[in-house]
Amino acid sequence: MTDPEDPELIDTAPVVRDGALDRPIALVGMMGSGKSTVGRRLARRLALPFVDSDQEVETAAGCPVSEVFERFGEAAFRQGEYKVLARLLDGRRKVIATGGGAFAEPGTRDLLRARAVTVWLKADLDTLVARTARRDTRPLLRGPDPRAKLAQLLDRRTPDYAQADIHVVSADGPHGRVVDAIIDALTAHLEENTAS
């Protein structure tokens, strides 16, 4: 039973409840954009399962993402990530948080666009730097200047992320605001696509 006083527990998306959503929702964007945190809340709000593709890669590899990068390299990680996402994109409704570089890979991007509603969580560089500084487990940010590396990745990946179905700003503030914005944009997107 849900508590009507807790907005996180109220399904405010009739378009999801009524069956217009017929595929997974895949959150894409830079590391630190909030895909995992917002994804969990979105899934809870919509009463859908949540899956973090990085955690699934770790389970499949038997080691952390950082170790996969160190031992096998980024190319091997991306191949494993593709296989995991292909398995997760089984047509069942769920919320998937993808890795930051997943949507930058053409084959993975094509797979996600074909089998999911893709949502780009956009965050500015300062927000990304602040959020990623909280964890030191990000292999692509190891080195003397994580800010410069993030700026380079953001610049390179933005045209790829822009191909997502939905764009939502992920700024500092309550995560519930970002969840609300996703639900509103998702509702509009699904209504637009069922009308056409």
Residue 94: name the closest of 33, 37, 7, 27 by CA.
27
Query: Does 157 count as an annotated binding residue?
Result: yes
62 belongs to an annotated ligand binding site = no
Residues 152, 100: contact at Cβ < 8 Å? Answer: no
Q: In residues, how long is the chain?
A: 196
Question: Is residue 34 annotated as involved in ligand binding?
Answer: yes
Contact between 117 and 166 under an 8 Å Cβ cutoff? The reply is yes
**pLDDT digits 0-9 by tens, 3-18:** 334 455 455 466 566 6
State which H helix or E strand residue 167 sits in.
Answer: strand 166-169
pLDDT 10s digits, 134-166: 666 555 556 677 888 889 999 999 999 999 999
Q: Cα(first)–Cα(last) distance of the chain, in Å?
A: 37
19: pLDDT confidence band, cut at 50, 70 and 90?
A: confident
Lowest-confidence range among 14-18, 35-39, 51-55, 189-193?
A: 14-18
- Angle at the Cα of 118 (from 47 to 28), degrees rounded to 5? 95
What pLDDT sits at residue 137?
56
Residue 1 pLDDT grade (very low, low, confident, very high; cuts 50, 70, 90): very low
**Is 196 marked as a binding-site residue?**
no
Instruction: Judge whether 50 and 97 are in contact, CB under 8 Å.
Output: yes
Q: Determine if residue 131 is labeled as part of a ligand binding site.
A: no
Helical (H) or strand (E) element with 141: none
Cα distances from 8 to residues 34, 48, 74, in angstroms, run 16, 13, 36
Superfamily of domain 22-183: P-loop containing nucleotide triphosphate hydrolases (3.40.50.300)
Backbone angles phi, psi at 119, to 5 degrees: -125, 115
**DSSP symbol at 195:** H
The answer to the question of whether 78 is labelled as a binding residue is: yes
**Residue 54 among known ligand-binding residues:** yes
Q: What are phi and psi of 138, to 5 degrees?
A: -100, 105
